[in-house]
Chain A
Amino acid sequence: MVRRHRASTRAWHWLNVVAVFTLLMSGMTIFNAHPRLYWGQYGANPDQPWLRIYATRGGEGFLRVGPLEVETTGVLGVWEKDGRTQTRAFPHWMTLPSNYSLAEGRKYHFLGAWLLAIAGTLYLLWSLANRHVWRDLLPRRNEIAPRHLWQDVKDHARLRLPRGEAAARYNPLQKLAYLSVLFVILPVMVLTGLGMSPMMNASWGWILDLFGGRQSARSVHFIAACLLVAFIVVHLVMVVIAGPVNEIRSMITGRFRLPPEKGDTP
């Protein structure tokens, strides 16, 4: 047994789980209010969306991204709840609240947003102060050498995870994944979220310019949310592969059982 994950990391991790799931699920409720995405300053029903989830009169659901169209009946656009067919983009089991309410969805979204922003800021400041970012997250120079990274990619592909002492530290791909969530995806989520606020737009017009307009900010907000979902999926798969009980315990109590070196195991 070794100590792993500082108390600040563990506390933030679980607060962030609550914030991110609240945000993702209530975000899908908000998306359902207008399931089209555009590029530029404006965009509404008469304009051309680059992404659209919709239902046909014949009762089929479709996802359209640019020129690509995929039938999604049952999951997106058209789905069933309690035996009744519904025609909204994201299905009830993905959204918060599960029955469509834009007002409630927005309420929960801002609750999640404040939690994400406050907990995230405190964690970031704390992690800079206690050097967590430098000691654990920033890859060492040799770790990001192409050969080393390629080796890490191959190890991941073969599900060959570090054992012994090395398992207590983050591997290079893991570091890059965490850094991009912390310093790219989450900040982009917050900025594009603020970029959709007409009040913020008046004073912080640079956000509009950074993303190329309010509808572009809305599109980037959606894309960044998809990247976050992709991260969560990979993250959970890795937890399961690495040993879910040991991994989850180490994120709760900080106690981590080092996986024995090869050859030590029966």
Chain B
Amino acid sequence: MIIGRRKLIAGLGAGIALGGCQKILETEPADRLASSLDLFTRDAQRLVTDRNALAREYAPEERSPEFRANGSRTVDTPEYRRHLANGFADWRLSVGGMVARPLSLSIADLQQMPARTQITRHDCVEGWSAIGQWTGTPLSHLLQLARINGRARYVLFRCADSFGDTPYYESIDMIEAMHPQTIMAWRMNGQPLPERHGAPLRLRVERQLGYKHAKYVTGIEVIEDFRSIAGGKGGFWEDRAGYQWWAGI
């Protein structure tokens, strides 16, 4: 009898505690703490890892038989259809912002430059992974060519695809931007980059989750701060759904 009543009280207490859990976490200070943890996590990860450490590269036979395409699988505009029809011969990639020498490059221009090929694992924030081979121009090469300003802190990617009326964009910091495996990829698994994977050009930033890997890239912008751009959080999903800007975990 007594135990029964005590059990009831304990059970009620546990129920209230669990229900209250979300209420507490939704308060302003708890929310601010949780949000600021994003950059704390980045700093902690940087502290215990090598800045230049390479993401694992796999053997050709370790690739996924089928590489899942996610997010935008096409760009739903007549211009893009036209680009697709003529093999992206007129596609231009601009490199601008805080640079001494802005660039406007065709895919053919990029393919004349030094290239890197890597078989890496793509990790989606949702939890799945796929392994594929990518060939592209190292971003560091483009940034050096454009001669970036010493005050620059981020590199922002403008994309042709959009969700509704909102264009996709993403940003990474200089450490990830200058990393040797960070490339503007125009080939995948030995073929020209397929439409659903971001043709003609997508970012590969191998130590970050999938949503950072901007597809259908039209512009690279070197900036000091992203707070005045679009929703101010540094990327489409960051603005739209509150995804963490730091996508290293």
Contacts and interface: CB of A to CB of B under 8 A. Distances in A.
Interface of A: 21-22, 25, 30-31, 33-34, 36, 41-47, 96-98, 101-104, 106-108, 110-111, 114, 194, 196-205, 208, 214-215, 218, 240, 243-245, 248
A203 B53 contact: yes
Contacts of B128: 34, 36, 43-45, 215
Contact of B127 (A31, A101, A194): A31
Nearest to A49: B128
A97 B22 contact: yes
Interface stretch (B62-70, B73-81, B105-113): B62-70
A197 B37 contact: no
B71 to A, nearest CB: 13
Contacts of A106: 125, 243-244
A111 B208 contact: no
A214 B121 contact: yes
A44 B130 contact: yes
Nearest to B26: A97
Nearest to A33: B126
Contact of B130 (A42, A200, A202, A243): A42
Contacts, number: 149
Give the size category of B's interface with A. 35 or more
Interface stretch (B43-51, B84-92, B154-162, B222-230): B43-51
Contact of A199 (B68, B124, B208): B208
Greatest chain B CB density within 10 A among A107, A114, A204, A218 is at: A107
Contact of B123 (A31, A111, A196, A245): A196
B163 interface: no
A25 B20 CA distance: 13
B207 A47 contact: no
A96 B49 contact: no
A198 B64 contact: no
A196 B209 CA distance: 10
Greatest chain B CB density within 10 A among A30, A196, A203 is at: A203
Interface of B: 3, 6-7, 10, 18, 21-22, 25-26, 30, 33-35, 37-38, 40-41, 45, 48-50, 53-56, 58, 62, 64-68, 121, 123-131, 206-209, 237, 241-244, 248-249
A203 B50 contact: yes
A198 B207 contact: yes
A200 B206 CA distance: 11
Contact of A102 (B25, B62, B241, B249): B241
B121 A42 contact: yes
A96 B17 CA distance: 13
Contacts of A197: 45, 248-249
A258 B95 CA distance: 75
B49 A110 contact: no
A200 B249 contact: yes
A148 B220 CA distance: 70
A249 to B, nearest CB: 11
A21 B22 CA distance: 11
A201 B56 contact: yes
Contacts of A107: 34-35, 37-38, 242, 244
A44 B209 contact: no
Greatest chain B CB density within 10 A among A21, A96, A198, A204 is at: A198
Contacts of B244: 103, 106-107, 110
Contact of A44 (B37, B58, B64, B125): B64
B34 A111 contact: yes
Contacts of A218: 127
A214 B21 contact: no
Given A41-B62, A111-B33, A215 B53 contact: no
A2 B50 CA distance: 51
A237 B209 CA distance: 41
Contact of B249 (A25, A46, A199, A248): A199
B131 A201 contact: no
A108 B38 CA distance: 11
Given A197-B249, A218-B127, A103 B243 contact: yes
Nearest to A31: B127
A51 to B, nearest CB: 12
